[in-house]
Homo-oligomer: A and B are copies of this chain.
Amino acid sequence: MHTTFTHASPADRVLCPALRERIMTADQAASLIQSGMTLGMSGFTPAGAPKAVPQALARRIEEQNAHGGQFRISLWTGASTSAELDGALAKVHGIERRLPYQSDPTVRKEINEGRMQYVDIHLSHVAQYVWFGFLGHLDVAVVEVAGILPDGRLIPSTSVGNNKTWLEQADKIILEVNSAQPAALEGMHDIYYGAAVPPLRKPIPMVHPYDRIGDPYLHCDLDKVIAVVPTQQRDRLAGFTAPDADSQRIAQHIIDFLQHEVKVGRLPPELLPLQSGVGNIANAVLAGLNHGPFEQLHAYTEVLQDGMLDMLESGKLATASTTSLALSPAAMERFLADIDRYRSRVILRPQEISNHPELIRRMGLISMNALIEADMYGNVNSTHVMGSSIMNGIGGSGDFARNAYLSIFMTPSMAKGGNISCIVPMVSHVDHTEHDVQVIVTEQGLADLRGLAPVQRARRIIAQCVHPDYRAEMTDYLERALRDAPGKHTPHLLEETYAWHQRYLKTGSMHAAAPVPRVRAA
């Protein structure tokens, strides 16, 4: 079923005659974008993000604004993107409003200095909100693809994200056709075309993570395509550092826990489909699973990172469903070397499917996500630093945590060389409530919170997860709250819930300056 492309020029990936006529440079394409427009761009991590038009647009914005212009656009994507996209546009202060997720340092700075409006949305909600008309009008889609067939069908790139929605909802379309993306991706995608708006929705016909329910190609109205820009550049993704000792301990606690759950019959021996968040801890857990006791695993996740490729290679992981193939360059080489074997085992889907509550709940995922801070009652902050500053965003963590079979949150017990305790009396922002957090794990240990009332949760989290450096002070807070708070269900002393955060902001450390006072019996 694979298309044969010649390699005479980058434009050879554009087999559709009508679209060949619309080939132009990135600068020409960017000149079609006007200030005030809303753009829907591809990209879920740097994977599959457009490589040329955003930078050309940044140049256009910089130039116009250098001459007194006020050129700004609104930017919607799948999730985070790349320095060439988010970074370039933020550097010229070109983004007015951003959603649904970001992780770029310049974007973060723009948001936290109050120059960019950031709307932090569950990743599964984005496409439907656009279809419902809740987020306003989409002017232009800028979508990277790996090739265009003669009839205009599009071979998706290394991520799918919201591309189907952008292509269908935008007035106009700019396609980047990236001939550095493997043509062999063809056939790996599964674009679900059964979505609808209520009251016309039907059940999504998926029961296994490896079910194919859609089409391998993206479709678009060719008349809407105003530009086709050939590019030739691989995704630039960072590699991973080898797991450190703390991450390895976290991984081991999780594996021990999963083994115990299998032993007592609460999980089948082959577990349930795995969802894993991004980052070094997640990769350490995957490395642990890759050397662990479980076989014939499946992944149903939003980002396929190096750790999962290792598991596909070893055979521990039978199949993986994702919306983003976010491999480091070295891992991508290994992936491509064996792509014909992986094509039947890896599926790339739209993010409203990879993150769909209906499917996550039906298939019963084991969800593992990182956090910024948790509190002793089990509330989780995934987004804010010290209550006010955004880090990245909630991403898909809410889609998974709320609907998973098992919802696990993991973090080192401390950050900033011990000056921050990642477990605090009360989180400074809540993204996952006490109702949605079943397991918290640090290098210290794992707290299974299922079926516990708040004070029981606090005692278990303090005993299992909090670093010894902070344990006495947190115990002291809990005991004094139990004694003095007006209610004993979730006892808090409102005048000092954020004392640790305030101390950090003031002194650079959450550590108490003076020795922790011992609580007297009430």
Contacts and interface: CB of A to CB of B under 8 A. Distances in A.
Nearest to A133: B266
A452 interface: yes
A203 B201 contact: no
A345 to B, nearest CB: 18
A233 interface: no
A453 B119 contact: yes
Contacts of A272: 198-199
Interface string A178-222: 000000000000000000011101111101100000000000000
Interface in A430-487: 430-436, 438, 450-453, 455-456, 481-482, 485-487
> Which has the most chain B C-beta neighbours within 10 Å: A117, A120, A451?
A451
Given A135-B450, A434-B120, A505-B494, A362 B429 contact: no
Given A199-B364, A203-B205, A488 B114 contact: yes
A384 B487 CA distance: 9
> Which has the most chain B C-beta neighbours within 10 Å: A113, A133, A268, A273?
A133
Contact of A489 (B135, B390, B433): B390
A456 B199 contact: no
Contacts of A89: none
Contact of A199 (B99, B198, B204, B208): B208
14 contacts: A97-B453, A113-B488, A118-B453, A122-B436, A134-B438, A199-B364, A201-B207, A201-B363, A203-B205, A358-B361, A384-B487, A385-B487, A388-B491, A429-B490
Identical chains bound together, number = 2
Interface stretch (A41-49, A409-417, A496-504): A496-504
A386 interface: yes
A428 B438 CA distance: 22
A121 B362 CA distance: 19
Interface in A93-119: 97, 99, 111-114, 117-119
Given A201-B364, A384-B489, 18 more contacts: A99-B451, A111-B489, A112-B489, A114-B455, A114-B482, A134-B451, A199-B208, A199-B273, A199-B363, A202-B362, A203-B204, A358-B361, A398-B402, A398-B433, A430-B430, A433-B433, A494-B505, A495-B498
A379 interface: yes
Contact of A388 (B207, B208, B436, B492): B492
A117 to B, nearest CB: 4
Contact of A363 (B198, B387, B433, B491): B198
Interface in A110-159: 111-114, 117-122, 125, 129, 132-136
A352 B491 CA distance: 31
A136 B121 CA distance: 35
A435 B394 contact: yes
Contacts of A488: 111-114, 388
B389 A266 contact: no
A489 B207 contact: no
Contacts of A205: 203
A120 B435 contact: yes
Interface residues of A, number: 87
Contacts of A497: 387, 497-498
A209 B135 CA distance: 27
A132 B435 contact: no
A515 interface: no
A121 B435 contact: yes
Given A112-B488, A494-B501, A129 B450 contact: yes
B430 A379 contact: yes
Given A388-B491, A486-B386, A117 B453 contact: yes
What are the 4 closest A-B residue pairs judged by CB atoms, nearest first? Answer: A198-B364, A389-B487, A114-B488, A203-B203
A232 to B, nearest CB: 36
A403 interface: yes
Contacts of A363: 198-199, 201
> Which has the most chain B C-beta neighbours within 10 Å: A204, A438, A487, A488?
A487
A265 interface: yes
